[in-house]
């Protein structure tokens, strides 16, 4: 009589184990599918970011983006394309160390004018092809046309987009 009781218990355990295994397989498949979707999305975002960076870097005009700092160098550049380096002679790291106003406008009166133009842009007064004379890294004076506009980042922090022809 004892054998009669053992058989239903074994069958019940076998069925429960089979259901558990089936659920584990389904969960693993769903997890693998989610991971594949995430991986494809990350790859797409990476390709799109690389494409945007290539456009910025290969633009025929100097293109840079900066945000305000309350301390020296007073602006921090986060975008600085190849053409900006060619126009000014400065890399983004160099201009962030030396400071935009101090490096490109070494005379105090020109620094003040450049600061006023930047502040005007931050107040919403876009500038289009304003003529400006900058001092390049090699000391050469260069006449450039500067266009500026304010853009707001995802953190709602205002940035200034500058396009420089020269």
Q: Which residue has the higher pLDDT, 126 or 12?
A: 126
Give the contacts of 150 (CB within 8 A, at least 6 positions apart). 121, 122, 124, 126, 158, 159, 160, 161
Beta bridge partners of 127: 148
Tell me the mean pLDDT in the region 91-120.
93
Which pLDDT does position 10 carry in this prediction?
Answer: 60
Contact yes or no for 63/56 (Cβ under 8 A): yes
In this prediction, residue 7 has a pLDDT band, given cuts at 50, 70 and 90, of low
Contact yes or no for 143/166 (Cβ under 8 A): yes
Q: Which residue has the higher pLDDT, 75 or 7?
A: 75
In this prediction, residue 164 has a pLDDT band, given cuts at 50, 70 and 90, of very high
Tell me the mean pLDDT in the region 153-165.
88
Give the contacts of 165 (CB within 8 A, at least 6 positions apart). 61, 62, 129, 144, 145
Give the pLDDT confidence of 137-153 residue by residue, as tens digits: 999 999 999 999 999 87
Task: State what percent of residues in the chain have pLDDT above 70.
Answer: 92
In this prediction, residue 155 has a pLDDT band, given cuts at 50, 70 and 90, of confident
Which pLDDT does position 4 carry in this prediction?
Answer: 53
Could you tell me how far CA 153 lies from the centroid of its own chain? 9
Give the pLDDT confidence of 8-52 residue by residue, as tens digits: 556 667 677 778 888 888 778 888 888 888 888 999 888 888 888
CA distance 11 to 154: 59
SS3 of 81, please?
Answer: coil
CA distance 77 to 161: 10
pLDDT, mean over the chain = 87
Helix ranges (DSSP H) in 59-162: 82-88, 92-98, 100-104, 108-122
């Amino acid at each position: 009589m004892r054998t009669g009781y053992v058989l239903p218990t074994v069958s019940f355990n076998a069925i429960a184990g089979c259901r558990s295994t089936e659920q584990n397989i389904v969960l693993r498949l769903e997890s693998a599918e989610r991971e594949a979707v995430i991986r494809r999305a990350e790859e797409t975002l990476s390709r799109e970011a690389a494409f945007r960076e290539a456009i910025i870097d290969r633009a025929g005009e100097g293109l840079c983006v900066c945000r305000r700092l309350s301390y020296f160098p007073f602006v921090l550049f986060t975008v600085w394309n190849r053409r900006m380096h060619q126009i000014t002679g400065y890399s983004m790291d160099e201009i962030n160390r030396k400071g935009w106003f101090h490096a490109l406008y070494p005379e105090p009166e020109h620094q003040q004018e450049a600061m006023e133009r930047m502040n005007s842009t931050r107040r919403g007064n876009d500038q289009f092809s304003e003529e400006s004379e900058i001092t390049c890294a090699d000391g050469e004076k260069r006449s450039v046309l500067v266009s500026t506009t304010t853009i707001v980042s995802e953190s709602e922090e205002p940035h200034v987009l500058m396009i420089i022809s020269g």
